[in-house]
Amino acid sequence: MAVDLRLSEDQLQGRRAAREFAATHLSGVAAAIEGLPTPEERFRATRPFYREMVRAGFLKSLIPAADGGAGTSLLDLALAGEEISGTDVNVSCGLFSSGLALQPVIGYGSDEQRARLLAPFLTDDGTPLASFAFSEVGGSANFDSTDPAAGITTTARRDGDEWVISGHKQFTTNGSGWDGAGPDLFTVVCRTDPALPPAESLAVIAVPGRSPGVRVGPALDTMGHRAALSPRVSFDAVRVRADNILGSPGDGLAIVTRTFTWSAAMVGSGCVAVMQTAFDAALEFARTERRGGSVPIIEHQSVGYKLADAKIRIEAARRLTWAACHAFDTTGDLELPVASKVFASETAVEVVQSLMSVVGIESYGHELPFARLLQDALAFPLYDGGNQGVRRRQLHDLLRTPSYDSRSATEGGAAAR
């Protein structure tokens, strides 16, 4: 990506194609889930839309070319993600959550593991799902705690040629699969010895979703992301082959950090998508509505200034997201991805709310998109590592590192080594 931040013709073409795909295939999601009373029913109703995403190559774009995928850069994924999430966050959440779950395999799997575990997702049709089983029922902000009684409590006990996994997870997006029996693949964060610190025991193990002992529980009926399903999942002495561990015990710290660095930048694109959709709707309203006056309300400075402020913040979040994706693609550094997640997610809530004040009371109903967009935006600061419990702590830890260089993130280097 050049310093001037201009997109290449291929990137512009890919962006336009994603926008057209969303308008053609995802614009019907809202009607498909309307009135369905449970999150499980709403999630199942999105399956045909997810299949269209697979057919269009979005799933294969998450997988490197060396492993048989399209090898799309994170920046190009974010460009497409902004377009599809602007039309519907639910199906894109399912897709990118599959990508989140595959990241440990992509980043740390052996040649044999990548060939075996990624194969179901290298398809031009179908609806394969993957789920990253990270969050614990008691909370996971302190997943790296050295206290044996804290942090990750899900365990994996070695028994001959198998790992035996036991524990309880929640917010496992895609964890139910389409029929409640589990996804095609879990990547499970666990401890191989609860008496050892995470640096020696934290691990990620690939688990086929329909393995005996996997129990899918209820999902939170959320305010926003109404058709993105994140249930509780229990692993009751689930047995998997010993060579399903990704890396070695203790590698889980690096695997989790890399995985959530990837997703942090992608969350930024979803935040920008929601803000852009709200801005377009507010701008159209301001251009056409007089609200009993003699001119459209955009002629009033109070309206125009709010729109200008919103657009400034959208562009700032968009450019920071692009920079974050570029940083991940080139250096793997976490500072810009984490910063973009915090800034874009909190800005999204503020921008949508501000744009609602431009429209007024009509924005509070569901005839216009603002109420739905605000409900979706409220999730961004809370999920994918909450901004308070996880993301700011990551930045704080980085700042505390003696070798931290406050300029390197924008100069193309790693902030601390």
3-state helix, strand, coil in the chain (%, to 5): 55, 10, 35
Determine how many CB atoms are found less than 10 A away from the CB of residue 204. 30
Please pick, among 67, 144, 333, 384, the residue that the annotation labels catalytic: 384
Q: How far apart are CA 229 and CA 221, in angstroms?
A: 9
Q: How far apart are CA 268 and CA 82, in angstroms?
A: 9
Determine how many CB atoms are found less than 10 A away from the CB of residue 248. 11
Q: Is 359 exposed, middle or buried (0-12, 13-18, 19+ CB in 10 A)?
A: buried
Residues in the chain: 417
Q: How far apart are CA 28 and CA 24, in angstroms?
A: 8
In one-letter notation, the amino acid at residue 194 is P
Is 236 annotated in the active site? no
Q: How far apart are CA 163 and CA 239, in angstroms?
A: 6
DSSP letter assigned to residue 228: -
Catalytic positions, written as ranges: 384
